[in-house]
Amino acid sequence: MTEEPVPVTRAVDFGTAKLLPDVDRARAWLLTVDDAPQSYVDLDDPEHLEFEYTRRIAHVLESAFDTPVHAVHLGGGALTLPRRLALTRPGSRQWVVEADRGLAALVAEHLPLSDPDITVHTTDARAWLAAAPDASADVIVADVFHGSRVPAHLTSVEFLREAVRVLRPGGVYVANIADGAPFAFLGSQLGTVRAGFGQSADLCLLAEPGVLRGRRFGNAVLAAARRPLPLDALARSCAGDAFPARVVTGTALAALTRAPVHDATATASPVPPDGAFTVG
């Protein structure tokens, strides 16, 4: 008789982590830190993405590249996107940077990963980028949250310039941003990414209409590249989701954009309102 999976709770570097089994999927787990959802992974079906924002990040990566990539994931969680990309773009070389050593150890113990082309580094994301070679990555995914907030030192123009340096020509930067109306943080991040990439770069934002209209706090996925982004393919993919998203570009994106932030003025992302992402 197969034993039922049981929840795991452990103190990690930046809070209390929990692994909660999904009663509907035999080997699927939700990872939370201080009750804020961080990752969802199905070990039997790594291509399954439960969170809408992770599907949108995958849409960007898989629309922009149809061959293996060198990908950097800033923020590890349960390694959801690296596991998927290893299947959808086989042969990809991936580096995962996770600052929380305790969290990385928990995931390695309970959600093991055997792919030799995925390497996990337990260090600060910005410090890792600063040491990375120029033009060494096709993709950088920024999804770093300490609890439910993006650390301030990962929100500045100086940080973005390091990311641009590490990207190859034609490389794509993707960031998960959580905010709500009046979108002060989201607007500053649009301005910061624009300043880091330059005015000629292509930018877009993927988000649900309810978030964009200010009806609720939520996630928006920002993509940037010094080449045209595959906007038509992204629009089709986002429209086909269970919770459809809009692809925002041009004047609508410019209307959201605010002044960039630098190290001296950078702040962490806003505290989500009660109940925005918390699970029981």
Neighbour tally for 250: CB within 10 Å: 10
Predicted confidence at residue 249, as pLDDT, reads 97
Predicted confidence at residue 4, as pLDDT, reads 80
With a CB cutoff of 8 Å and minimum separation 6, the contacts of 71 are: 61, 82, 85, 92, 93, 94, 95, 137, 138, 139, 140, 141
pLDDT tens for each residue of 62-93: 999 999 999 999 999 999 999 999 999 999 99
HSE-up (13 A, CA, CB side) for residue 58: 23
Instruction: Indicate the SS3 state at residue 210.
Output: helix
Residue type, 30: L
Burial 199-232 (b: 16+ CB within 10 A, else e): eebbbbbbbbeebbeeeebbbbbbbbbbeebbee
Give domain limits for the chain.
Answer: 50-256
pTM of the model: 0.96
Q: How far is residue 254's CA from residue 251's CA, in Å, rounded to a whole number?
A: 5
Residue pLDDT tens, the chain, 280 long: 567 889 999 999 999 999 999 999 999 999 999 999 999 999 999 999 999 999 999 999 999 999 999 999 999 999 999 999 999 999 999 999 999 999 999 999 999 998 999 999 999 999 999 999 999 999 999 999 987 899 999 999 999 999 999 999 999 999 999 999 999 999 999 999 999 999 999 999 999 999 999 999 999 999 999 999 999 999 999 999 989 999 999 999 999 999 999 999 999 999 999 877 655 4
Predicted confidence at residue 148, as pLDDT, reads 85
Predicted confidence at residue 275, as pLDDT, reads 73
pLDDT tens for each residue of 4-14: 889 999 999 99
Residue type, 42: D
May I ask the CATH class of domain 50-256?
A: alpha beta
Percent of the chain past pLDDT 90, that is, above it, reads 93
Predicted confidence at residue 150, as pLDDT, reads 95
With a CB cutoff of 8 Å and minimum separation 6, the contacts of 252 are: none
Neighbour tally for 175: CB within 10 Å: 25
Q: Cα dihedral sign for 113, 93, 91, 228? A: positive
